[in-house]
Chain A
Amino acid sequence: MRSIAFERRTNTPKWLRIAVPMFGIAIALVLGAMLLAWTGHATTGTYRQILHRGFTDPGTFATTLVAATPLLFTGLTAAIAYRMGVFNIGGEGQLFIGAMFASFVGLGLGSAPTVVVVASMILAGAVGGSLWASIAAVLRDRFRCNEIITTLMLNYLAGILIQYLIFSSHSYWRELTGTGALFPQGRMLSERAQWPNPHIGGTPVPFGFIVGISFAVLIFVLLRSTRFGYRVRVIADAPAAAKYAGINARRTTFAVLALSGAMAGIGGASDVGDFRHTLDPKGLQQAGYGYTGIVVAALGRLNPIAVVFVAILMGGLNTAGLALQGPDFPAGLVGTLQGLLLFCTLGGEGLARYRIVIRRRAGSASRSAAPRSSSPRSAASPTEAPGLATGEVGG
Chain B
Amino acid sequence: MKRTAHIGAVTIAAALGLAACGSSTTKPAAGGSTTTQKPSGSSDNGSATCGKPSGSGAYKVAFVYVGTVNDGGWTTAHDKGRQFAQTNLGDKVKTTYKATVKEGPEAAAAIESLIADGNRMIFATSFGFQDSMETEAKKHPEVCFEQATGFKTSANFAEYFGAAEDTDYLTGMAAGAASKNGKLGFVAPFPIPEVIREINSFALGAQTTHPGATVQVAWTKSWFDPTKERQAAEGLVAAGVDALGQGQDSPATGEVAKAKKLPWAGYDTDQSANFPDNWLTATVYNWGPYYQSRIAAAMAGTWKSGSYYGGPKDDFVGLAPFGKLVDQKTKDAIASKLAGFKDGSFYHLTGPLKDQSGAEKVAAGKALELKDILSMDWFVEGVKGSPKG
Contacts and interface: CB of A to CB of B under 8 A. Distances in A.
Tell me if chains A and B make direct contact, with any CB pair below 8 A: yes
Interface in A248-294: 271, 275-276, 278, 280, 282-284, 286-287
A182 B104 contact: no
A283 B104 contact: yes
Contacts of A183: 127, 151, 190, 192-194
Contacts of B102: 283, 286-287
B110 A326 contact: no
A319 interface: yes
Contacts of A318: 106, 109
A96 to B, nearest CB: 13
Q: Which secondary structure dominates chain A's binding surface?
A: helix
B112 interface: yes
Interface in B283-300: none
B98 interface: yes
Contacts, number: 94
A322 B110 contact: yes
Interface stretch (A24-32, A35-43, A59-67, A107-115): A59-67
Contacts of A280: 103-104, 128
A286 B193 contact: no
Interface string A152-183: 00000000000100011000000000010111
Contacts of B380: none
Contacts of A59: 112, 116
B98 A182 contact: no
Interface in A176-214: 179, 181-184
Given A63-B109, A322-B109, A331-B68, A287 B104 contact: yes
A95 B119 CA distance: 34
B106 A287 contact: yes
A326 B200 CA distance: 39
Q: A182, A184, A327, A331: which has the most chain B beta carbons within 10 Å?
A: A327
Interface in B66-122: 68, 95-106, 108-110, 112-113, 116-117
24 contacts: A59-B116, A63-B109, A67-B105, A67-B106, A67-B109, A163-B221, A168-B221, A168-B389, A181-B375, A182-B374, A183-B127, A275-B105, A276-B105, A282-B103, A283-B103, A284-B104, A287-B102, A322-B98, A322-B113, A323-B116, A325-B99, A331-B68, A331-B98, A331-B100
Given A181-B193, A183-B193, 16 more contacts: A63-B109, A63-B113, A67-B106, A163-B221, A168-B388, A179-B152, A181-B377, A182-B375, A184-B190, A276-B104, A283-B103, A318-B109, A323-B116, A323-B117, A325-B99, A332-B68
Interface of B: 68, 95-106, 108-110, 112-113, 116-117, 127-128, 131, 151-152, 190-194, 221, 374-375, 377, 388-389
Interface of A: 53, 57, 59-60, 63, 66-67, 163, 167-168, 179, 181-184, 271, 275-276, 278, 280, 282-284, 286-287, 318-319, 322-323, 325-327, 330-332
